[in-house]
A and B are shown apart, each in its own frame.
Chain A
Amino acid sequence: MESSQITRRKVEAGLPRRRRREFLFQLAGMLATTVGIVFLGVFFADLFVKSSTAFVQTFVKLDVEFTENVIAPGGEWDLTYADFDGLVRSALRSEFPGVSGRSERRELNRLVSVGAGYQMRDMIEADPKLLGARESLWVPASSIVDMYIKGNIDASLEESLRPLSDKQLSWIQKLQDSGRLETRFNSALFSNGDSREPELAGIKGALMGSFYMLIVTVLLAFPIGVAAAIYLEEFAPRNRWSDLIEVNINNLAAVPSIVFGLLGLAVFINWMAIPRSAPLVGGLVLSLLTLPVIIIASRAAIKAVPPSIREAALGLGASKMQVVFHHVMPLALPGMLTGTIIGMSRALGESAPLLMIGMVAFIVDVPGGFSDPATALPVQIYLWADSPERAFAERTSAAIVVLLGFLLLMNLTAVIIRKRMEKKW
């Protein structure tokens, strides 16, 4: 038999086994991908279902009289003596004239959030002419009412087992019947800082805290990271020291983030005396955390620039720095930016190191600068997830959705930068 025929026969004999292996491998791959996608789908579906109710909030319509002797006992209105809660109470009383007795009234007052009083104060502050006027206002209902309206409280339970009494339920029913109860978009979620009252708690404080921190992080980590990458890749001599540095940078990228928090606590707060809980410290710690990521990504981007481009420039008499800044940087920049954004999104999602530097505090005010006490979005999630109130659970999910939204946005930006700036060669 001819040798080529023998070869062919051998090749053909092996084919079925190869095909079978290929098929099994593809099947395994498909299975793995499917499992991954299913998990992701379940996670997202659960999150969206749980968070969807947090974006609306129950409001109650009250006819409020800005009575002068309640809010301006001395003639002029005065924040110290003004009793805005009194306005709310009397408005409720006039809505339900039949309610009498201290305990019953207290039950009635519990239908409306303490935020109603703040709302009135803000109105008077903005427009003192309202004094003495009568207004129809939508004020936030308290979180138990909100939970009941959202179906989280089972009215069929025995009265002592649920947070709403039979009387309260009947009042709610009455408000609903007269069109004085409505669910509306929960703008407080995006405009308020944290609060003990779930219906008043918002993520703005945490968002701003995260924002200031990321500003610090990007301002520090990007230039330092890129400069270090350029130096290590283009200028540093290859020797034992550069190997050591390389190994250490790679190790740093794998260090648990809480360790960076401890470092920040020791160095920035105890030694450098930067105020704790401030976005400045958070940003410094997060820069340490993202630096290795940025350096590694930037070095990879620099390495990916074809050596022929470098040689061409060198051959024309460009100096090393000219080669780097005229040719290597423009080609490596998309990769560097992608690395930076990925580092930033890691920083945005970090909570552990922030716990160590006091950013886990309960902070009501929205931070207005880099040294104001602040918290961050993931820490806020952690805080809310820890709260016993049912109403905080849905807000936790909402905050997670917002955080994921930002992460998605950042990663999308990275992809777009990559696509738009990448040059063909």
Chain B
Amino acid sequence: MTMAEMTEANGSEEQLPGNAGLGVTKMPGPKQTANGGSAVAVAGQHIELGQTIGDFRCENPYIVAENVNVHYGDNHAIKNVTLEISKQEVIALIGPSGCGKSTFLRCLNRMNDTIESARITGKITLGGQDIYGKDLDPVALRARVGMVFQKPNPFPKSIYDNVAYGPRIHGLATDRAELDDIVHTSLERAGLLKEVKDRLEEPGTGLSGGQQQRLCIARTIAVNPEVILMDEPCSALDPIATARIEDLMDELSQDYAIVIVTHSMQQAARVSKRVAYFHLGLLVEVDETDRIFTNPQHKLTEDYITGRIG
């Protein structure tokens, strides 16, 4: 029986009061919770629904996700996740494949709206504003929350047009000179300007994979977002290109909140301030990066970072 089926059987539809505290220890064996025993067995370990270990809250939160649940049809992909993210921090989402990292990330800029079967409940606020509120247009939200995808996906247009696209549709530049300026600064900040400044009119698809990914980053920051979401941005890149993008993240974290999904422990350790560990749709543990990697509280977290799951 899969995890999802079990939770369904246990009637997890009810919203549980989120993250009541350190409910789980590395103790084996069944454990009853105060909520009426909706404990679920995973790999000999028990997690109580909606209970996350560690600092899932933070000071000055900018993004606040409260009791977020995502269903894809019958598949309960995100289970009652509560997480706060502050501005000027890099938070890494880690976890085994299929645990819902991308799904959670895509909730933050409402990209899940495009998936017909997806159903999202709970509350997510950005700077105090409910992003699933009726008065909020996802188009405006996505201008504030930029996204970099796993596979570099430049438009089949020139390098210039790739970067200029966002500013153009949002009317950020009043004239050509201003647009040129935005394109140049964005490429510069993405560390790509030197390589492409003589070939801005050439197609963006003609660049190498690493260059394409930096182009996508330049395209994202050209809109001047508040948050950048990155879904495994380096998974298709070699170590050198990866290092460049990590440097870039470091630099960008001065101005933006960055949420990055990664499968590389080393990358999470290098770039992030906090790490959130997901497991089968549950947010198991959130903590400072150093603490998570040196002293994980939950057995699942430990198993994952030491390479026993995933």
A-to-B contact residues, CB < 8 Å? 237-238, 306, 308-319, 322, 326-327, 331, 423-425
Contact = CB atoms under 8 A, between A and B. Distances in A.
B166 A317 contact: yes
A315 B154 CA distance: 12
B142 interface: yes
A132 to B, nearest CB: 73
**Chain A to chain B: the 3 pairs with minimum beta-carbon distance, closest first:** A317-B143, A308-B153, A315-B147
15 contacts: A238-B116, A309-B153, A311-B149, A312-B155, A312-B216, A314-B114, A315-B146, A315-B149, A316-B169, A316-B223, A317-B170, A319-B139, A424-B203, A424-B205, A425-B156
Task: Give the interface residue-count category, chain B.
Answer: 20 to 34
Given A308-B149, A309-B153, A311-B149, A316 B116 contact: no
A314 B156 contact: no
A423 B154 CA distance: 13
A331 B156 contact: yes
B293 interface: no
A425 B205 contact: yes
A205 B223 CA distance: 59
A314 to B, nearest CB: 6
Nearest to A322: B169
B151 interface: yes
Contacts of A425: 156, 205
A contact face: mostly helix, strand, loop, or mixed: helix
Contacts of A311: 111, 114, 147, 149, 153
A174 to B, nearest CB: 73
Contacts of A326: 165, 169
B232 to A, nearest CB: 13
B298 interface: no
Given A308-B153, A327-B155, A425-B205, A314 B223 contact: no
Nearest to A312: B153
A273 B36 CA distance: 75
A316 B111 contact: no
A331 B169 CA distance: 19
Contact of B111 (A314, A322, A424): A314
- Residue of B142, B143, B223 with most chain A CB atoms under a 10 A cut-off: B142
Given A327-B155, A425-B205, A317 B149 contact: no
B140 interface: yes
A317 B139 contact: yes
Contacts of A331: 156
Contact of B165 (A237, A310, A316, A319): A316
A308 B114 CA distance: 12
Contacts of B109: 315
Given A308-B149, A322-B169, A315 B156 contact: no
Contacts of B166: 316-317
Contacts of B165: 313, 316, 318, 326
B220 interface: yes
Contacts of A313: 155, 165
Nearest to B143: A317
A245 to B, nearest CB: 17
A322 B169 CA distance: 8
Contacts of B205: 424-425
B219 interface: yes
A316 B153 contact: no
Contacts of B143: 316-317
Nearest to A310: B114
Contacts of A309: 153, 155-156
A306 B147 CA distance: 17
A319 to B, nearest CB: 5
A316 B156 CA distance: 15
A316 B142 contact: yes
A324 B151 CA distance: 21
Contacts of B223: 316-317
Interface string B140-180: 11110011010101111000000001100110000000000
Given A237-B116, A238-B116, A312-B216, 6 more contacts: A308-B149, A311-B153, A314-B142, A317-B139, A317-B169, A425-B156
Contacts of B169: 316-319, 322, 326
